[in-house]
Amino acid sequence: MFKISDRILNLEESQTLNTSAKAKKLKEKGFDVIDLSLGETDFFTPDLVKQSAKLAIDQNYSTYSPVPGYLDLRETICKKLKRDNNLDYSPDQIVVSTGAKHSLMNIFLSVLDPSDEVIIPAPYWVSYLTMVKFANGTPVIIRTTKENDYKITASDLEKSITNKTKIFIFSSPCNPTGSVYSHDELESLCQVFRKYPNILVISDEIYEYINFTGEQTSIASLDDMQKRCIVVNGLSKGYAMTGWRLGYMAGPVEISSAVSKLQSQFTSGANSITQRAAISALIQNPSSISGYIRDEFEKRKKLVYDELSKLNGVIPNNPGGAFYFFPDVSGLFTKRYKDIKIENSDKLCELILENSHVSLVSGSAFGEPNCVRLSYATSQEKLSQAIKRIGDFISCCN
């Protein structure tokens, strides 16, 4: 028997992927499961992107790509950041990786030393916490409230900063809540950051094109912030390219150099064909290639909000972006289902999956155990059916 390293034994599995795997097992047994657990759109990759990939194959882009990404792709990313975010970067500040998740892990491993603290607002994307721990950092969690749309204030931020604070990380639009920070809200946070010039800010902007508020501000674009910000983005959500696996980071040269150095020893350059396809995606006006995705999600959002609002014991939030709801379900924790006590959101999700065949993710995975995450990245018909099943489940509770 070989002993697995403590590093891996102590590594938590992704609860979203774990929940989706349980749903797939039930499907394999013949159950009609509606999976609302994964952050994956049900749209197909745009044809022009697929055509670019086919062309790249015919043009024999089959050799190793440069570690930080093809130069013309990094140049295209710089143009995109200028066009959409009013940010000026040079190609040597860009590193292309195998997904935004890969970019984030690269950054943490490149920047963190033991005892360095990372401030993370909760609810947070499920992998932030695990990544920080894996890189020997110390997570510092800021709890938020539904009343403040699950967003932190400048006061919350300042109270969490210590002489060990190295990084602040957040996403806007946020996974799992869909909350979007306004320009003024970001500026209030920046007023705190300007007092602490050694704190890095990681801005996860993977959902920027799925935003219903009409306002998308990158914190890096605010006064005196770009020099200490790392912008992370990718093509999975806005371009329906989850399986293509391409993300990127933009930041100070010393950090992009460190990330490239690390990546050279792990994965080398990202997939060559995906990179060529990414160029054709990123040069497009986002409204022309991602607009129809956003518009459809906005319709689904209204449907889900209306239906969730009818369920007893469920208090939905009203997300400004992304494609998730994060309703408070603590009103169900005093109830029983067939003599089984619903103790928490973990138990609730387990019972709904086993008995109603709808897959949700417990809020405990995101640092808020009173909630569940529901992805509405599926058809309106399936969403209506799923919420009806959840309602039928709740009606059987007492």
Confidence of residue 16 (pLDDT cuts 50, 70, 90): low
Please write the tens of the pLDDT for every residue from 58-117: 999 999 999 999 999 999 999 999 999 999 999 999 999 999 999 999 999 999 999 999
| Nearest to 140, CA basis, from 162, 112, 114 | 162
Does 309 share its domain with 249? Answer: no
Report how many domains make up the chain: 2
Task: Supply the pLDDT for residue 233.
Answer: 98
Does 26 share its domain with 65? Answer: no
Indicate the residue among 285, 318, 336 that finishes a domain. 285
Question: Is the pLDDT assigned to residue 346 strictly greater than 70?
Answer: yes
Does 242 share its domain with 103? Answer: yes
Task: Supply the pLDDT for residue 17.
Answer: 67
Mean pLDDT of 215-234: 96
Instruction: State the CATH number of the domain containing residue 383.
Output: 3.90.1150.10
Mean per-residue pLDDT of the chain:
94
Alpha-carbon distance 319 to 303, whole Å? 13
* Beta-bridge partners for 229: 201
Domain encompassing residue 362: 6-44+290-395
Is 1 domain-assigned?
Answer: no
Task: Supply the pLDDT for residue 292.
Answer: 87
Is 50 domain-assigned?
Answer: no
Indicate the residue among 265, 285, 305 that finishes a domain. 285
**pLDDT more than 70, % of the chain:** 99
Does 163 share its domain with 267? Answer: yes
